[in-house]
Amino acid sequence: MGKIYLGIETSCDDTSCALYSAEGGVLVHRTAAQLDHARFGGVVPEIASRSHMKTLLPLYETVMEEAGIGLRDLSGIGVTNGPGLTGSLLVGLSFAKALSYGGGLPLAGIHHIEGHIMANAIGGGFTTPAVVLVVSGGHTMLVHVAGIGRFEVLGGTRDDAAGEAFDKIGKLLGLPYPGGPAVEKASKNGDPRAFDFPRALKDSGECDFSFSGLKTAVMLKAAQLGIAPGSASAAGARAVADLAASAQEAIVDVLSIKSAEAVRRLSPAIFYMAGGVAANGRLRESIRERLAPSGIPVSWPPVEYCTDNAAMIACAAMHHFGAGRIDGLGLNTFPRGELASWA
């Protein structure tokens, strides 16, 4: 089995622990989702941090018991230390520090975005140079990965992230939280050409994104059609499906166009997707179609490793330790911070 690494992820509202090794890949992976936020239509930071405090220790014990190992059997600990919700990050980092100190184990703080990128390395290799589209509830960016630990951000969102736009649009249409999967589901019964929603910066030639205007356009059109959260009628259901499909198509269109622009500029060996929105079936289809002429292969992680998870953190930590990069117990959290190279 070789060296085993523990990963801890508590950057937002999911508590996650995983064990990873180079030889066996993901040995054990468990994530506890927080359901209390659904009634608020979004994540409440105080509720999230308190839930992590209740859940993290039992989850860690469950993971270790399933693997049949103890703290002394670990070779290192990786933990998300930012970006994210400060309170949530502090719970995970404090726990990781305690384990590191108690077990005399090396500790590596992992940037949340790097974790998502390295989800593509779970269970196998990671080809470079690569262009990676990181698209989630809190982040939307294109990253050039010249090598493990060597990052260049090509562009990012100027306002809302794509996943945030999905969630807000879902809420506007009265769909369940989280909005991303709900909008995708509703879209299957809708016409993506029913409404011509804006595609901001589509032809700018840059790799930046903007989705706030789309959200406003959907809000105005929904109000015009009399669609509001809680409304229910056959005509309303059809309108919601068309709105969802048209909004999804606008988001997907921009993401795929910008991805193709990045690939055209850099001619990477491979194109990866990462983050929760990478699980969207229409986005995957559109990216494949848009990049087909380039001949560049397209890949993404299994669905369970697209959303926030500790397996990606453990995998990333393994590469940090392999390169000799270790953090001390003075490691701190950061709610915001650019993805920077460390290799």
Query: pLDDT digits over 47-74, tens only?
Result: 999 999 999 999 999 999 999 999 999 9
Residues 36 and 170 in one domain: no
Q: CA 115, CA 120: separation in Å to the nearest integer? A: 9
> Pairing state of beta strands 76-82 and 107-111?
parallel
Q: Residue 204 corresponds to which amino acid? A: S
Is 330 a member of any domain?
A: no
CATH number for position 43:
3.30.420.40
CA–CA separation, 194 vs 311, rounded Å?
40
Residue whose pair of structure tokens reads 């989630």 in the numeric block: 136
For 238, the enclosing helix (H) or strand (E) is helix 234-266
290, 309: one domain: no
**Residue 340 forms part of a structural domain:** no
Q: What mean pLDDT comes out for the span 196-211?
A: 94
Single-letter amino acid code for the residue at 212: S
Q: Are 52 and 58 in contact (CB under 8 A)?
A: no
How confident is the model at residue 33, as a pLDDT? 80
Of 72, 150, 173, 111, the C-alpha closest to 337 is 111
Residue 114 domain boundaries: 5-122+304-322
Which residue type, as a one-letter code, is found at position 135? V
pLDDT the model gives residue 59: 98
- Does residue 30 fall inside a structural domain? yes
Residue 40 in this model has a pLDDT that exceeds 90: no
Q: Do 176 and 61 belong to one domain?
A: no
Quote the CA–CA distance of 181 and 279 in Å, as a whole number.
9
Model confidence band, residue 232 (pLDDT cutoffs 50, 70, 90): very low
Same domain assignment for residues 60 and 138:
no
Q: Are residues 34 and 159 in the same domain?
A: no
- 308 and 296 in one domain? no
331 lies in some domain: no
82 strand-pairing partners: 111
Query: Do 138 and 285 share a domain, yes or no?
Result: yes
For the stretch 91-148, pLDDT in tens is 999 999 999 999 999 999 999 999 999 999 998 899 999 999 999 988 999 999 999 9
Domain membership of residue 227 (yes or no) is: yes
Average pLDDT over residues 272-293: 97
| CB neighbour list of residue 203: distance below 8 Å, 6 or more residues apart | none
Half-sphere exposure of 231 (CA within 13 A, CB side): 18
Res. 37: pLDDT tops 80:
no
Say whether both 111 and 159 belong to one domain.
no
Count of residues making up the chain: 343
Same-domain status, 170 and 193 = yes
pLDDT at 320 over 60: yes
Same domain for 180 and 93?
Answer: no
Would you say residue 325 has pLDDT above 50? yes
Q: φ, ψ for residue 25 (rounded to 5)?
A: 70, -140
User: How many domains, in total, are found in the chain?
Assistant: 2
Q: Say if 334 falls within a structural domain.
A: no
Let me know whether 162 and 275 are in one domain: yes
Q: Are residues 150 and 295 in the same domain?
A: yes
In a domain, 333, yes or no: no
Q: Give domain status of residue 339, yes or no.
A: no
Q: Decide: 314 and 18 in contact? Cβ < 8 Å.
A: yes
SS3 of 182, please? Answer: helix
Residue 42 has pLDDT above 80, yes or no: no
Helices (H) and strands (E) in the chain, counts: 9, 10
